[in-house]
Amino acid sequence: MRFLYSLALYLLSPFIWWRVWREWLPTHSRWERLGRVPYETAPVIWVHAASVGEVMTARPLVQALETRYPAHKIVMTTMTATGANQVASLFEGRICHHFLPLDFPGAAKRFVRRVRPALAIVIETELWPNLLAECQHHDVPLALVNGRLSANALQRYQRIRPLMRDTLAHFDWLGIKDRTDLERFKALDGPVSRMEVTGGLKFDLRYNGALEKVSEDILFQCDGRFIWVAASTHEGEDAALIDAHARLRERYPGALMILVPRHPQRFDAVAQLIEDSGQCLARRSRGDGITSRVSVYLGDTMGELMGFYAVASVAFVGGSLVPVGGHNLLEPAALAVPVVTGPHLENFSDIADLLDADDALVRVSTTGELVDALAEAATAPEQARARGRRGLMVVERHRGALEATLNGLERLLPGGVSG
């Protein structure tokens, strides 16, 4: 099956190369996609996180690995340029980053031979058959962390079930997010004896003290204004959110929206949408001040979202008014910020259900409903804060995945510094 898979990759290689050609940064060689990275001499822990969301999920784990294994160099790979930027922003040069090689047999072999990891960690659902087989071939201990499979992903993988069974067999330990995901991995004939439900790493996300300066700067300029954040927005959502904010300001003229698009390549386009709406725009990337005239503050930077959330009276999490599947609802909840979301939450339905069960989530389907939810938070702030506190309690109840994950990894790479 892996031979047929590799053959298909070679046949599709022109399209694949064209697709990843755009995912590049001037600081990286395009040859990294073929496994041409520098040879490592120090012991390496390799962590792979596909893009921004997975990098954020991996953040508490990587920080813990830095402390627990100080003699090891941490090398992180991503598939996307936005993920690479997030690594640079979060870890400020402490972490070596490369783009993940394409899953051609030669590229996979070259990458593993050059990096020579003492431990390889895959975040969530990056199942690359050749790369994982090469790790096993070179006796590299291999772990899946925060393992998750959506219903749609399971359906796709079941079409190539024999290949997925062999791919999952390469893992020495699989830390699975919850029992629903565990059953889905079992449905792919994953190695049950090596699977363990650890909980979701996203619950262990904590506010980075380095972002306090971001929050303090905004609060100092805003002088008690009602602030809401529209985060991780996608094309098709921004115009509706900008319109919702204009309608909110008819009731609360001092309201400020901090709008944070998901993808950096859309920053300029979203800025144009704001200007076309007639609302006064300030851009974070330009260092614009937030004067009393500013209606929308565009968070067109990377790695500062939690700092924006920390100043919000309410947060709308995007990718949910359009059929994207939603984004991380726990980031604002971890700061006791009340959360509003759209109806499309396929990727975070389990988390949404937990928040719903404690009345810690407001779902809206239309712009009008969003305006009403925001106005309610402005009119009844104590009620909104109570909802935020309930969200924080949900997060606190489910913390512990980080410790369980570190215990699982300790079996594969003993000798870490505890505590």
Secondary structure letter of residue 419 according to DSSP: -
* 98: confidence class by pLDDT, cuts 50, 70, 90: very high
CA–CA dist 270, 276 (Å, integer): 10
Q: Which ranges in 69-198 belong to alpha helices (H)?
A: 81-91, 105-115, 129-137, 151-158, 161-168, 179-187
What tens digit of pLDDT does each residue of 6-57 get?
999 999 999 988 888 888 899 999 999 999 999 999 999 999 999 888 998 8
State percent of the chain over pLDDT 90. Answer: 85
Asked if residue 311 and residue 361 are part of one domain, the reply reads yes
> Taking a C-beta distance cutoff of 8 angstroms, is the pair 391, 190 a contact?
no
Catalytic residue check, 237: no
Asked if residue 356 and residue 236 are part of one domain, the reply reads yes
pLDDT, average across residues 371-384: 97
Closest CA to 240 of 292, 337, 318: 318
Asked if residue 404 and residue 349 are part of one domain, the reply reads no
Residue 27 lies in a domain: yes
Predicted local confidence at residue 307, as pLDDT: 94
Closest CA to 55 of 393, 416, 302: 302
Asked if residue 297 and residue 271 are part of one domain, the reply reads yes
- pLDDT at 296 exceeding the cut of 90: yes
What tens digit of pLDDT does each residue of 251-274 get?
999 999 999 999 889 999 999 999
Predicted local confidence at residue 419, as pLDDT: 56
Asked if residue 255 and residue 141 are part of one domain, the reply reads no
* 72: confidence class by pLDDT, cuts 50, 70, 90: very high
pLDDT, average across residues 83-109: 92
> Looking at the 3D structure of the chain, how many domains does it have?
2
CA atoms within 13 A on the CB side of 272: 6
CA–CA dist 74, 115 (Å, integer): 10
Predicted local confidence at residue 231, as pLDDT: 98
Asked if residue 43 and residue 18 are part of one domain, the reply reads yes
Residue 306 lies in a domain: yes
Domain encompassing residue 111:
2-199+400-412
Residue 206 lies in a domain: no
23, 32, 54, 237: the active-site residue: 54
CA angle 252, 257, 259 (to 5 degrees): 160
Residue 297 lies in a domain: yes
Asked if residue 319 and residue 267 are part of one domain, the reply reads yes
Asked if residue 358 and residue 237 are part of one domain, the reply reads yes
Residue 205 lies in a domain: no
Residue 346's domain is classified under what CATH number? 3.40.50.2000
Asked if residue 192 and residue 216 are part of one domain, the reply reads no
Residue 12 lies in a domain: yes
Asked if residue 257 and residue 126 are part of one domain, the reply reads no
Length of the chain: 419
What tens digit of pLDDT does each residue of 165-194 get?
999 999 999 999 999 999 999 999 999 999
Predicted local confidence at residue 24, as pLDDT: 84
Residue 232 lies in a domain: yes
CA–CA dist 224, 351 (Å, integer): 31
CA angle 378, 247, 361 (to 5 degrees): 45
Question: Strand order of the sheet with strand 117-123?
Answer: 96-99, 73-78, 44-48, 117-123, 142-147, 173-176, 195-197
* 199: confidence class by pLDDT, cuts 50, 70, 90: very high
Residue 91 lies in a domain: yes
Predicted local confidence at residue 391, as pLDDT: 98
What is the token pair recorded at 88?
A: 């640079």
Predicted local confidence at residue 53, as pLDDT: 84
Q: Is the dihedral of CA 111, 163, 56, 312 positive or negative?
A: positive
- pLDDT at 350 exceeding the cut of 90: no
Residue 11's domain is classified under what CATH number? 3.40.50.11720
Asked if residue 271 and residue 404 are part of one domain, the reply reads no
pTM for this model (two decimals): 0.79
Asked if residue 67 and residue 142 are part of one domain, the reply reads yes
State percent of the chain over pLDDT 70. Answer: 99
Instruction: Kindly report which listed range (86-90, 139-143, 276-280) carries the lowest average pLDDT score.
Output: 86-90
pLDDT, average across residues 99-109: 96
Helix, strand or coil, per DSSP, at residue 10: helix
